[in-house]
Amino acid sequence: MSSIYFTEEHDFFRKSFQDFLQKEVVPHIETWEKTGMIDRFIWEKMGEMGYFGINCPEAYGGLDLDLFYTVIFLEEMQKINSGGFAAAMWAHAYLAMTHLNKEGNHEQKEKYLSPSISGEKIGCLCITEPFGGSDVSGMRTTAVKKGEHYIINGSKTFITNGVCSDYLIIAAKTNPGLGNKGISIFVIDRDTPGVSATKLDKLGWRASDTGEIAFTDVEIRASNLMGEENKGFGYIMQHFALERLVMAVNAHARSEWALEYTIQYMKDRTAFGQSISKFQALRHKVAQLTAEVEVSKSFNYQTAQRLDKGEYVVKEATMAKLITTKVADDVAYECLQLLGGYGYMEDYPMARLFRDSRLGPIGGGTSEILREIIAKMVIDGKDYKPAT
Ligand SMILES: Cc1cc2nc3c(=O)[nH]c(=O)nc-3n(C[C@H](O)[C@H](O)[C@H](O)COP(=O)(O)OP(=O)(O)OC[C@H]3O[C@@H](n4cnc5c(N)ncnc54)[C@H](O)[C@@H]3O)c2cc1C
C-alpha cells in the first residue's frame, strides 16, 4: 500500500471490503468453483454494500468515488484467490456497467444502471464472436433497423456472465459496409425472444460462467441503441483503456498474494535440514519476481492516477496489461514450482491461481494485439483519440 495514492479513507474502505469478502464470499468460493455459477444472493449483498457503484454517479445510486477505490476493489478480490469470482464481479461492474454509465441515456441508466448498482440486475458485455475476437471490426452480428425496431442476428462467445446475466450490452453492425465505422452498441433484456445461451467449460476462472450466445431474429426497440449509431467501435476502444488497467491491477494483486503465500511456505518447509527459503537459487527467484511485481504495480498506480484525472492513457494501459499479466504468469508458474508437489495439488492455492492467471494475456486484448497497438504508437506515430 502506498500513501502517495491511498488516503486513510481508502485504507478504511480496504479493511471493510476485506472483512466483507472473508465473511460473505470466502465460505462459498469452493462451491462456486465447483458449480461454475455464483449464487444470486451475493450479487445483492455486494450491491447493498455499494461495491458495484464505486465509480458511478450518485444520481443513480452510485458512490462516485475516485479510481483508487476501484483499484482496492480489484486488488482485494484477487487476494481471495478465485479469478472466476473476481471476473464475474468486475465484468459486471467495469465492462457492462461502463458502457451503461458512459453511453446510456437517462432512461437506460434508470432501467439498467441503477439496478446494476444495487445488484438486482447482472450485466455482461458481448463483443467477441466465434469467428474472431481480436479483429473487432470483423464482427458478423448485425442489427437491421426496421421502423422503430432493430432486428439482431448473430452470435457471441466467451462472454463472462453470458448465462447468468439479466441484460446484455452487445456490439452489432448497423452498417456492415462501413467496417469498424458501422458498429453500434445496444442493451438487450435476457428474456427477449430469440436470445439463447450455452455455458462453456474452461481451464480456469471456474467460478464464473462463460457463455456462447445466439441472437436469432431478436427484435428490440430502437430506444435500446446506446449512444450514437455507428459509433460503437470508438466506444469499445475507449473503454479498453479502463478494461486493460483493470486486468493489469488484477495481475499485480494476484502476484503479490502468490508471492506472500509462497514466501511463508518456503520459510515453513524444510529440505536437507534447513528451510528452503535459505537456498540461494530459490531466494533469487523470489527476489527477481518481487522486483518485477513491484515495478509493474507502481506503473499501474501511476496509470490509474492519470486515468482518474481524465487523461486518455491508451498506450500506458496497454503496456500495463502486457507487462503485468506476463509477470503474473511467471509468478504463478514459479510459485507453483516453489511449492513442489503441493503446488500441483488442489488443496493448495497455486493450482487454481496458475489456471486463472493464464487468461490474463488473452482476455481484453491478447498480448500479441497489445504489442501491435504499442508498435503502431511508438513506431508509426499513431495517435489514438478518445471517441467522446
Ligand atoms: C474466460 C474468458 C472470458 C472472456 N470474457 C469476455 C467477455 O466478457 N466479453 C467479450 O466480448 N469477450 C470475452 N472474452 C474474449 C476475449 O477477449 C478473446 O478471447 C480475445 O480477445 C481473443 O480473441 P479470440 O479468442 O477470438 O482469438 P483470435 O483473435 O482468434 O486470436 C488467436 C491467436 O492469434 C493471435 N492474433 C490474432 N490477430 C493477430 C495479429 N494481428 N497479430 C498477431 N497475432 C494475432 C492472437 O493473439 C491469438 O494468439 C473472454 C475470453 C475468455 C477465454
pLDDT digits (tens, 9 = 90+) for 322-354: 999 999 999 999 999 999 999 999 999 999 999
| 98 within ligand 1 shell (Cβ under 6 A) | no
| Mean pLDDT on 217-243 | 96
What's the pLDDT score for residue 252?
Answer: 98
Contact 265, 258 (CB under 8 A): no
C-alpha cell at 90: 468486475
Provide the mean pLDDT of the chain.
97
pLDDT tens readout for residues 173-205: 999 999 999 999 999 999 999 999 999 999 999
Nearest CA to ligand 1 atom 41: 369
Out of 33, 129, 243, 292, the active site residue is 243
Q: Which atom of ligand 1 is nearest to the CA of 366?
A: 47
**How far apart are the C-alpha atoms of 362 and 128, rounded to whole Å?**
12
Q: How far is the CA of 214 from the centre of ligand 1 (A)?
A: 18
Q: Which atom of ligand 1 is nearest to the CA of 131?
A: 26
What's the pLDDT score for residue 74?
Answer: 98
Contact 171, 185 (CB under 8 A): yes
Nearest CA to ligand 1 atom 40: 369
| Mean pLDDT on 223-240 | 96
Nearest CA to ligand 1 atom 12: 128
| Mean pLDDT on 281-306 | 98
pLDDT tens readout for residues 132-169: 899 999 999 999 999 999 999 999 999 999 999 999 99
In a mutational test of the pocket of ligand 1, which residue from 89, 140, 158, 322 has the highest number of ligand atoms less than 8 Å from its CB?
Answer: 158
pLDDT tens readout for residues 199-222: 999 999 999 999 999 999 999 999
* Confidence at 300, pLDDT banded by 50, 70, 90: very high
pLDDT tens readout for residues 98-131: 999 999 999 999 999 999 999 999 999 999 999 9
What's the pLDDT score for residue 388?
Answer: 72
| 207 within ligand 1 shell (Cβ under 6 A) | no
What's the pLDDT score for residue 209?
Answer: 96
DSSP state of 169: E
What's the pLDDT score for residue 191?
Answer: 98
The fraction of the chain above a pLDDT of 70, given in percent, is 99
Nearest CA to ligand 1 atom 27: 133
DSSP state of 255: H
Q: Which atom of ligand 1 is nearest to the CA of 91?
A: 8
CA distances in angstroms from 159 to 40, 154, 184, 209, 217, listed in the order given: 18, 14, 18, 8, 20
pLDDT exceeds 70 at position 90? yes
Query: In this structure, which amino acid lies at residue 325?
Result: T
Most distant pair of Cα atoms in the chain: their distance: 79
CA distances in angstroms from 370 to 224, 362, 385, listed in the order given: 31, 10, 17
Q: Which atom of ligand 1 is nearest to the CA of 372?
A: 42
pLDDT tens readout for residues 1-10: 557 999 999 9
| 150 within ligand 1 shell (Cβ under 6 A) | no
Nearest CA to ligand 1 atom 52: 158
Give me the residue label for grid cell 447493498.
48
Q: Provide the terminal-to-terminal Cα distance of the chain, rounded to the nearest Å.
A: 33
**How far apart are the C-alpha atoms of 25 and 65, rounded to whole Å?**
23
Nearest CA to ligand 1 atom 44: 368
Q: How far is the CA of 364 from the centre of ligand 1 (A)?
A: 7
Instruction: Respond yes or no: is residue 346 known to be catalytic.
Output: no
| 44 within ligand 1 shell (Cβ under 6 A) | no
| 322 within ligand 1 shell (Cβ under 6 A) | no
| 332 within ligand 1 shell (Cβ under 6 A) | no
| 128 within ligand 1 shell (Cβ under 6 A) | yes
Nearest CA to ligand 1 atom 7: 159
pLDDT exceeds 80 at position 18? yes
| Mean pLDDT on 47-73 | 98
| 277 within ligand 1 shell (Cβ under 6 A) | no
Name residues whose C-beta falls within 8 Å of residue 280's C-beta, 6 or more positions apart in sequence. none
What's the pLDDT score for residue 2?
Answer: 53
Predicted model pTM: 0.97
DSSP letter string over 187-229?
A: EEETTSTTEEEEEPP-SS-TTS-EEEEEEEEEEEEGGGEESST
